[in-house]
Structure 1
Amino acid sequence: MNIVFFVTGLLFVSGVGYAASNNRKDIRLTPILKMIAAQLVLAFLLLNTSIGIDLIRFISKGFDVLMKLGISGVDFVFGGLENNGVSNFFLDVLLPIIFISVLIGILNHFRILPLIIRYAGLILSKLNGMGKLENYIAVSSAFLGQSEVFLTTKKQLGQISRKRLYTLCTSAMSAVSIAIVGAYMTMLEPRYVVVAIVVNILSALIVANIMNPYDLDDEEDLPLVEEEAGKPSFFQMISESILDGLKVAIIVAAMLIGFIALMNLVNELFLWATHLSFQSILGYIFAPVAFLMGVPQSDIVQAGSIMATKIVTNEFVAMLNFKEIAGGLSPKTIGIVSVFLVSFANFGSIGIITGSVKALHERQGDVVAKFGLKLLLGSTLASVLSATIIGVFL
């Protein structure tokens, strides 16, 4: 049955993507099939082999240690504010992001992370035949996040076409920032977080190849990253990374406060008018999609509700809701929904990406704003594809 649902999920993604494609006749099947095959191999290795399981366990323990180290700094400043034995989401999940942000800053400062990203992107380009810039953004988005990634290519933004810009933004919106991966692991099984990050890179490029195919001439393939003038000193970088991490923590906290309260208000209004909650209605709307992805029929409404919540609000709100109901769901549902949740594909991200690009290049920011909804569609299809791939091995 897993193979059947792999086919139905794949047909759903390709069918919707084909219907929304801006150039159907130039869709290239070979690189798409190569990337799907690579996803299946990677998912199998990570979930079903001793090496993959050990690797995920190592990464999970690593982030667990980092989160505990981050909490040690939080406890020094805010010690005594928590009740004994009671976890505080802001203190224990969000504020440790500051410490992880510092580590990312250090890896960037010494050119370790850019080196990894560059060569991973070059290897990926051999697989799919796409431009170096497209593959660089696809890989770097998984490390840096949807807004920060454009800072590394700000000199190229003004020189790329509308089609290339859509592909870059789809990759950014289909990824997550490594700075908040530790926070995700407190709400989802770590193995699904790790696998989703890896598989999402290819899913975004597959969907972009369907919805936005184009030929890239050699002269258009711009240099990847140029050394920035006036590189900050080590301790200046540390200070800036700390502030960046604090901004992320506060922004996520503010979004959670606003979105959860708004969702509760909408639910109350729907309960008053229809005796059904807004999330229940969304669950019935998205249930067919969940079924095609391989979610067991008994769980499709609840899974659809969580998926819709993520798109309408953000992944943190959806993960918190998912954590409350996961105990009553099948292991397969938990795996599929978990992978679907690990991305920035939601309405709010349209504004974040548009603002990020516009801040660096105003004209290109206006271009992104015009295809915002199509960008959300593409990144959501990428999440559906990733979750479908994982379902094959559950």
Structure 2
Amino acid sequence: MKFLIFIAALLVIFFLAFIVSNGKKRIKYKSVITMVVLQLVLAFILLNTEFGLVLIKGVANVFDKLLAYAAEGINFVFGGLANEGSFPFFMNVLLPIVFISVLIGIAQYIGLLQIIIRFLGLILSKVNGLGRLESFNAVASAIFGQSEVFISIKKQLPHIPKHRLYTMCTSAMSTVSASILGAYMTMIEPKYVITALVLNLFGGFIIANIINPYEVSEEEDIIDVPQERKQSFFEMLGEYIMDGFKVAIIVGAMLIGFVALIGMVNSIFEAAVGVSFSTALGYVFAPFAFIIGIPASEVVQAGTIMATKLLTNEFVAMMDLANITSSLSSRTVGIISVFLVSFANFSSIGIIAGAVKGLNEEQGNTVARFGLKLLYGATLVSLLTAAVTGIML
């Protein structure tokens, strides 16, 4: 039964991608099938093998150590503000982003990140049927984040055609940045965070290959990371510390606004209709929850979390999931957890369009015009990742 539901999920997801495709005859089915198989293999390794368990435990332990180091700095500045036994979200989940950002800055400063991104980008381009620039951008998105990644291609940005820009933006919205992984691991199981990170990378290529197929010539496919004035080590540290703090503040501000807004809308909707707005959306998303492998008895609860993520962001949805985890099966928690690990939500349209517009106004306007289609594609990526995870749990 689980296998049949998975096949149905693939058919539905691919059909939803196919109906909006701008080049149905150019779809590279061989690349799509190859990457789906890769997703299945990687999901099996990460979720069902001893090697995957050791790997995820190793990554989780690294982040545990990093979060402990981050806590030293946070306690020095904010120690004593929290009541005994309390869990201040801003300090425990968001502020560690500052320290993770610093480590990313150091890795970039010494050239390690550039080597990793170029190497993985070259390998991925042999598998995904797309250009090296798209592959480079996808790996960079998973490290820098959905807005910062475009700085790494700002020299090429004015010359990138619309179809290639869509693929790059889909990767940016489908993945999550390395600086925020630690925050996710405090809210959901690390194994689901790592699994989603890996599967989303390929999922973005799969959906883009269906919605937006094209060929890239050798002349077009040039990676040239811009060379800027060499910063001193301490200039770089200061910049990345401030960047990490800005991300923490922005996410915190968005959470305050979104949580308050959802609370108000739920209250008004419940008074008028008798059920909360989130629950009503849960019924809309319930069929999608079912096809990705959620048990029928839990599809409304799962659909509510999925809808919350789309309308607000993954943090709000993760908090909601934590509140009802005890009432859900471990299978549902796992599938929904990987669905939540991406930037696919309405606010990300503005974030990505704004980031691109800051570098090139014309291209920023282009991104804004295909914003809804971008969110549509990135949401299909999350569904695909959840479906692949479902067959393994």
TM band (smaller chain):
over 0.9
AA of the residue aligned to 1:269:
I
AA of the residue aligned to 1:385:
L
| 1:34-49 superposed matches below 5 A | 34-49=34-49
Q: Is the 8 A contact 2:137 2:149 kept in 1?
A: yes
AA of the residue aligned to 1:260:
V
In the alignment, structure 1 residue 291 sits paired with structure 2 residue 290:
yes
Q: Is the 8 A contact 1:132 1:224 kept in 2?
A: no
| 1:288-367 superposed matches below 5 A | 288-367=287-366
Deviation by residue 1:299-338 (Cα, 9 ceiling, x = unmatched) = 1000000000000000000000011001111111111100
Q: Give the deviation of 1:224 after TM superposition.
A: 4.0
Distance in 2 (alpha carbons) for counterparts of 1:40 and 1:213? 23
Q: Which residue of 2 aligns with 1:270?
A: 269
- Mark the runs of 5 or more structure 1 residues left unpaired by the alignment: none
Q: Is the 8 A contact 1:70 1:96 kept in 2?
A: yes
| 1:1-394 superposed matches below 5 A | 1-226=1-226, 228-394=227-393
Q: Is the 8 A contact 1:63 1:182 kept in 2?
A: yes
Distance in 1 (alpha carbons) for counterparts of 2:118 and 2:157? 18
Q: Is the 8 A contact 1:117 1:136 kept in 2?
A: yes
Q: Is the 8 A contact 1:336 1:387 kept in 2?
A: yes
AA of the residue aligned to 1:376:
L
AA of the residue aligned to 1:58:
G
Q: Give the deviation of 1:28 after TM superposition.
A: 1.2
Deviation by residue 1:163-200 (Cα, 9 ceiling, x = unmatched) = 00000000000011111110101110100000100000
AA of the residue aligned to 1:278:
F
Distance in 2 (alpha carbons) for counterparts of 1:53 and 1:140? 26
Q: Is the 8 A contact 1:133 1:224 kept in 2?
A: no
Distance in 2 (alpha carbons) for counterparts of 1:335 and 1:224? 39
Distance in 1 (alpha carbons) for counterparts of 2:131 and 2:81? 51
Distance in 1 (alpha carbons) for counterparts of 2:292 and 2:23? 26
Q: Is the 8 A contact 1:136 1:224 kept in 2?
A: no
TM-score of the pair, normalised by structure 1: 0.99
Deviation by residue 1:280-306 (Cα, 9 ceiling, x = unmatched) = 000000000000111100110000000
Deviation by residue 1:338-384 (Cα, 9 ceiling, x = unmatched) = 00000000000000000000111111111001000000000000000
- Mark the runs of 5 or more structure 2 residues left unpaired by the alignment: none
SS of the residue corresponding to residue 223 of structure 2 reads coil
SS of the residue corresponding to residue 218 of structure 1 reads coil
Q: Give the deviation of 1:13 after TM superposition.
A: 1.0
Q: Give the deviation of 1:107 after TM superposition.
A: 0.4
Q: Post-superposition, which runs of at least 4 consecutive aligned residues in structure 1 deviate over 2 A?
A: none
Taking every aligned residue pair, what percent have the same amino acid on both sides? 55
Greater shift, 33-42 or 122-131, is seen at: 122-131
Deviation by residue 1:106-147 (Cα, 9 ceiling, x = unmatched) = 001011111111101111111122100011111111111100
TM-score of the pair, normalised by structure 2: 0.99
Backbone CA RMSD of aligned residues:
0.8
